[in-house]
Structure 1
Amino acid sequence: MRESRGTAERIVGPNGIRGRVPDELDAGGAYRTGAAFALLTGAPVIAVAHDLRGSSPALADAFAQGVLDQGADALDAGPGPADCLTYLSGYLDVPGALVTAGHGPGAPHGIRLCRAGAVPVTEGTGLEAIRERLAGPRPALTDQPGSVVRAPVLDDYARHLRSLVDLSGIRRVRVVVDAGHGIAALTAPRALHHPAVELVPVRFGPGNDRAGQAGWDLGERVRRSGADLGLAFDTGADRCRAVDERGAAISPAAVVALVAARELARRPGAAVVHDLITSRAAIEAVEEAGGIPLRSRVGRSAIRSLMAEQGAAFGAAASGRYYFRDFWCADSAMLAALHLVAELGETGRRLSELVAGHDRYPRSGEIGVRVEDPMAALHRVATYFAATDAELDRLDGVTGEFGDGSWFNVRAARSAHLVRIHVEAEAPAAMEALRDRVLSVVTASAPAR
């Protein structure tokens, strides 16, 4: 990383460090980030983990060296997913960092940071200080450098996840797991280790982790093997897609319905946080299970903060991230997968039966639209729909809800000149009509009312 304010501004975003290797983020940049983080936290020990991307171990080592040169010890956790670092930071009460990357060749690398207790470091809680240090002079070395402590924790992490989901007495469940040549190849066999769980591994070896590779043939593999469930994890095991025994995709709304009901059975009447683009079907399932749904802005930090504030039992994002009170209010795809296995094993029913009815509202999916001025586009949307029967709010972008249950949300993306649109309605034709109406306003060619 070139030592300049411009580079620091580019790679330090609202939720972590992110830059292309080696042009924006290299070993030198990782070293300085480690040093800056050690100075920020003042902690005697900082945990460091990394994913399986080829350049991640070297960046993690450089980050750790920056920590050591500021006098703190580096707890080297080795390879692991983000929720493994959550476990380590939460269980040992130490700050931590995960070096990870997006999918595909040349995808940006990132460094996620958390304080002791798995509390994320974001803009306003420390990242601005990291940015300033990266833009400033190289930090001085301490007279007493720290030491490296090797502490691979995958087995302990897996045991902790299993302690949160009771698999005792379940019937036999066959699960196809597509690791996409990523970190789930290390974590799934450990987390799903149980006499009643038969794991069918797919893409567990090293390989090209290009985007979209995991899960493309998951349904076919499930049908061919007679499995009860199929799970496809992304490269970093941050998210997981599921299919039922027929090979049909399970929507995030259905996963929310099943997992929320299980968490609410343990904590009747508790709150469940959902982001404001979550399907109404999931929200209704929470209410039917006796929970109190709470709307949140989109994003990890917003969901986790509201969960902690309200003592929520569970949290969910429409993107397929699932958050657990008993897991430091953090998300864990593997923990959600364990809940699906437990539900199948306890009920003895097919997954297609369990999720029936939880995906009943047509959705547009996320639509990205490039515009010259995102704020002006949001203003057009708010002005236009204020003159209709829509009930508007500005919790995150502009959301409009109608009396028939249909709704839309338009938000400005972090990328310049881009807005994101989500629409849901009772029927396909109604969804398409509302979608087209919102699109026309966003692109400044709104039809006459």
Structure 2
Amino acid sequence: RAFLEQYPGAAIVYDIRSSWAVRDWVVRLGGRPIVERVGHSYIKQTMRRENAVFGGEVSGHYYFRDHFYADNGFIPWLKVMTMLSRQHVTLSALVASLGPYYLSGEINSTVQDVGAVIKRLAERYSDGEISYLDGITVSYPDWHFNVRPSANDPVVRLNLEARSREMMEQKRDEVLALIRQDA
């Protein structure tokens, strides 16, 4: 919020694992949300290309155009504390205002063939909106998931989000069954 108040209409870059709450919040505040692959080099490159004022990753890395795209956890902490103080709200109230989203957390699965897993998911969820930005991301109006390969291990990482806890649990189990089918 602080960055979009200072730079109206600015671009904000976030990684593909992020909640829809990030996208919704940026749009609500008049910014331009840009999703990017996981990893600081991708985030920073996109920030420079798009002249984004802020970039963030689920892993807790935050980057700032005005600070040479440096990773800094102290600046966001100060911004949040300032916002809470000025608005006289609690952190839990601020988080609750982000929307009713339920996340699976990142779930790792060892697989024999990453390509086969991604193909199987693409076939099963072909009626969804599919992106191959980082692994495979499939989106529906009420839920979405990303499955991406580890750079170092024969592992895929699932991140899934839905608008209800029940749907998140059901879809998480459904997608995991497909991922682990040949494990």
TM-score, length-scaled by structure 2: 0.93
**Match of residue 401 from structure 1:** 139
CA-CA distance at 1:345 after TM superposition: 3.0
Structural mapping, 1:15-414, within 5 Å = 261-358=1-98, 360-386=100-126, 389-402=127-140, 404-414=141-151
- TM superposition outliers: structure 1 runs of 4+ over 3 Å: none
Residue 375 of structure 1 contacts residue 412 of structure 1 at CA under 8 Å; is this kept in 2? no
Shift of the 428–348 alpha-carbon distance from structure 1 to 2, 3 Å rule, reads closer
Q: Distance in 2 between matches of 1:364 and 1:354?
A: 21
Mean Cα displacement is larger for which, 335-344 or 425-434? Answer: 335-344
Q: Could you tell me which amino acid in structure 1 is paired with residue 167 of structure 2?
A: A
Instruction: Name the SS of the counterpart of 1:286 in structure 2.
Output: helix
Q: Distance in 2 between matches of 1:270 and 1:368?
A: 34
**Match of residue 179 from structure 2:** 442
Q: Could you tell me which amino acid in structure 1 is paired with residue 51 of structure 2?
A: G
TM-score, length-scaled by structure 1: 0.39
Q: Greater CA radius of gyration, 1 or 2?
A: 1
Q: Percent identity?
A: 37
Shift of the 349–439 alpha-carbon distance from structure 1 to 2, 3 Å rule, reads closer
Shift of the 385–354 alpha-carbon distance from structure 1 to 2, 3 Å rule, reads closer
Matched, 1:424 2:161: yes
Aligned residues: 182
Indicate the structure whose relative CO is greater, using CA pairs within 8 Å and at least 6 residues apart. 2
Q: Distance in 1 between matches of 2:97 and 2:4?
A: 19
Q: Distance in 2 between matches of 1:431 and 1:349?
A: 29
Shift of the 443–350 alpha-carbon distance from structure 1 to 2, 3 Å rule, reads closer
Q: Distance in 1 between matches of 2:8 and 2:45?
A: 21
Q: Distance in 1 between matches of 2:92 and 2:106?
A: 25
Q: Distance in 2 between matches of 1:290 and 1:365?
A: 28
Q: Distance in 1 between matches of 2:161 and 2:178?
A: 17
Q: Distance in 1 between matches of 2:85 and 2:166?
A: 38
CA-CA distance at 1:337 after TM superposition: 1.1
Q: C-alpha root-mean-square deviation of aligned residues, in Å?
A: 1.5
Instruction: Name the SS of the counterpart of 2:12 in structure 1.
Output: strand
Map Cα deviations across residues 136-189 of structure 1 (whole Å, 9 max, x no partner): xxxxxxxxxxxxxxxxxxxxxxxxxxxxxxxxxxxxxxxxxxxxxxxxxxxxxx
Q: Could you tell me which amino acid in structure 1 is paired with residue 46 of structure 2?
A: L
Q: Distance in 2 between matches of 1:330 and 1:425?
A: 32
Map Cα deviations across residues 327-353 of structure 1 (whole Å, 9 max, x no partner): 112321111111122223333333333
Instruction: Name the SS of the counterpart of 2:125 in structure 1.
Output: helix
Instruction: Name the SS of the counterpart of 1:274 in structure 2.
Output: strand
Q: Distance in 2 between matches of 1:393 and 1:320?
A: 24
Q: Distance in 2 between matches of 1:435 and 1:282?
A: 21
